[in-house]
Structure 1
Amino acid sequence: MEGLMGFVRSPATTPIVRRSLFYASKSKKNSWLRAKLNAENDPLLQAATSAASLRFQEMHRPEPLFVDPYAGCLVHPDVQMDLKECTHQYCLVTKFIDDKLLSTVNHIDGLKQIVLLTDGMDTRPYRLNWPTSTVIFDISSERIFKKSAEKLQGVGAKVPRNCLFLHVPLESSDIQHSLYAKGFNGNQPSIWAIQGLPVMTLANFKEILLVASSLAMSGCLFLGELPAWLAETEIGTKPSTEKWTNKLFMSNGFRVDLVGYDEVAKSLGKEESPGEYKNILFVAEQLQFSDDQMETWRRELQRVEEEGDEEGFEEL
């Protein structure tokens, strides 16, 4: 593990402080409300548990898309099994993201950085076969993550050997600074995936894009799904979703492609569940340099200019 940490370097520049993506009020009233949250009235916990339940049910299908051996410890013992023939879109997306992450990371030499924006119960760090020298950052609600971490530890869940798993609280006042503090390196490749992260407003997602745009190297991928209602907050019409998404991502240096859930189902030989699934599945590629790459270029240019000045002085 010490050898792996040797790959992780401090940022080249000091990050700009930004407000939390998931602001938690410091008032006594809201503190009391948070203290009263439990499994019955905590919406974040309920959403994360529901997702884990879908993974648990998928694992027990005759021909599952994936196997999540740890989902069982995250769900209620009396979870109702629904093994109908059609596959829930959430499971299709889970498989899609799994495959995309592994196929991409296995083509990266040296240090590999995975940034997962999750609901706090994502088991990918444990259940996927990550290659050596992979550092996984999980950005999620600290409250939910701690609950799930205790349960996962209780069943012996561990990340693959020579890999590192680090948590970054979603409530952090500055996500970018927190990632840097954990060892994220903007001069090394990274892959970003979002599934389950509680995005409350369009402004929240724009901040996420800004962080990814600042930290991800040119050519890095950002994939996953976001709530479809984000597009409707600005345009109000579904036919413009693709145009809206392109504008949003391009304004942050990403070229984006939307992926149809029916396309994913067909490629996997499955039939998706009927009914509207109100999310947008996307795969985006970073087109611009990260902040660290820009700083590296600036320093190199400065060095060349200084050497040129010295040579000119010697000629005189």
Structure 2
Amino acid sequence: MGSAQAFHIACNISMHHPLLRSSSKTKFSVSALKLNPDNDPLLLAATASASLRFQETLRPEPLFVDPYAGCFVPPNIPKDVIQELHPYCLATKFIDDNLLHTLSQSDGLKQLVLLTDGMDTRPYRLNWPASTIIFDISPERVFKTAAEKLKGVGAKIPKSCIFYHIPLESSDVPQNLQFKGYNGNRPSIWALQGFPMMTLANFEEILSIISSLAMKGSLFVGELPAWLFETGMEIKSNTKQCVDKLFMSNGFRVEMVNYERVAESFRKDFATGHCNNILFVAEQLRHSDDQMESWRREFQRVENDGDEEGFEEF
């Protein structure tokens, strides 16, 4: 089986497997299943994505180089070079560039939150600005498997940066994120690629959580499977309107990015007929919960000071 076909099958398994369960607006939970490397849909999908990054790295003129993806690829998977540019790789390069450019050009932006499949090598392979704090939210068992494999290939977080992993299975992901030091009163940039989602409701929950955590002006960039919107809406041809409405209802102004134009910007040929995903960049227009709480406290303090002054005058 070729890696592209394996990627397609693994993603279909992971997207439709009854694994993820959302229990509230602020919690994720995962059902207890007896899984092994051969039947774990999340591990299969993450490995298939790593295989695509590995094969892109082997191309004569690769969009990006992932020196660590090869350690995730099983020996029985063919390592032939794919001639056509895969949309996943195009999206990977687009997200990479957006993250690095935004972090390097924005004063005070030090918080990066990655919503991933557990085998994302961005924390290790990209040249992050000094003092960047990287949070990875991903399935724990996939992340642990990846961490073990990365030990032998020299993958290291830049010395001037900090890295934290937040298990997707945590009873309260936002609370754990804040416990590790995430601050909603400071700007942040969020990225989503490969993060396991079953339904449109799963993504709505993610948007709601990010909206409550991200300071006004923060950015959210990523890649979504188009079928999330097609299966959740009666009219499949109106995807853009559905995406706009969903993001705006959670406080984001969103722009859908054309894969073909991205390919043109890198001087690459790309067949749009093979793309079934949505590439996007969104800006947070609302204030985070932390911002609102800070202002509430300040307002209360001013009111209390005013009451005390009035009492003294009386």
**Shorter-chain TM-score tier:** 0.7 to 0.9
Q: Distance in 1 between matches of 2:24 and 2:39?
A: 33
Mapping for residues 279-298 of structure 1, pairs under 5 Å = 279-298=277-296
Between 236-245 and 107-116, report the one with greater CA deviation. Answer: 107-116
* 1:139 aligned counterpart, secondary structure: strand
Using CA pairs under 8 Å that are at least 6 residues apart, name the structure with larger relative contact order, 1 or 2.
1
Cα offset, 1:312, TM superposition: 2.5
**Letter paired with 1:292:** D
Percent identity of equivalent pairs: 64
Change (3 A) 1:80 1:166: same
Aligned with residue 313 of structure 1, among 307, 311, 314: 311
**Letter paired with 1:106:** S
**Letter paired with 1:206:** E
1:91-142 deviation digits (Å, cap 9, x = unpaired):
1000000000001111233461111011100000000101111111111110
User: RMSD in angstroms over aligned alpha carbons?
Assistant: 1.8
* Count of residue pairs the alignment pairs up: 292
Q: Distance in 2 between matches of 1:84 and 1:72?
A: 15
Match of 2:72 in 1: 74
Q: Distance in 2 between matches of 1:266 and 1:236?
A: 33
Match of 2:193 in 1: 195
Mapping for residues 178-217 of structure 1, pairs under 5 Å = 178-217=176-215
Q: Distance in 2 between matches of 1:61 and 1:252?
A: 40
Kept after mapping to 2: 8 A contact 1:21/1:204: no
Aligned with residue 42 of structure 1, among 40, 51, 56: 40
1:29-49 deviation digits (Å, cap 9, x = unpaired):
x4xx33xx22x3222111111
Aligned with residue 222 of structure 2, among 198, 221, 224: 224
Q: Distance in 2 between matches of 1:224 and 1:168?
A: 19
Match of 2:31 in 1: 24
Kept after mapping to 1: 8 A contact 2:103/2:109: no
Q: Distance in 2 between matches of 1:208 and 1:129?
A: 27
* 1:21 aligned counterpart, secondary structure: strand
* 1:83 aligned counterpart, secondary structure: coil
Match of 1:5 in 2: none
Between 76-85 and 300-309, report the one with greater CA deviation. Answer: 76-85
Change (3 A) 1:193 1:234: same
TM-score by length of 2: 0.88
**Letter paired with 2:28:** L
Unaligned runs of 5+ in 2: 1-22
Match of 1:271 in 2: 269
**Letter paired with 1:222:** F
Q: Distance in 1 between matches of 2:27 and 2:172?
A: 6
1:183-225 deviation digits (Å, cap 9, x = unpaired):
2111111111000011111221111111100100000011101
**Letter paired with 1:229:** W
Cα offset, 1:62, TM superposition: 1.3
Q: Distance in 2 between matches of 1:227 and 1:115?
A: 20
Change (3 A) 1:111 1:279: closer
Kept after mapping to 2: 8 A contact 1:18/1:173: no
Q: Distance in 2 between matches of 1:111 and 1:258?
A: 23
Kept after mapping to 2: 8 A contact 1:110/1:133: no
Unaligned runs of 5+ in 1: 1-15
1:156-186 deviation digits (Å, cap 9, x = unpaired):
2101112111111111121111211222111
Cα offset, 1:83, TM superposition: 3.1
Match of 1:129 in 2: 127
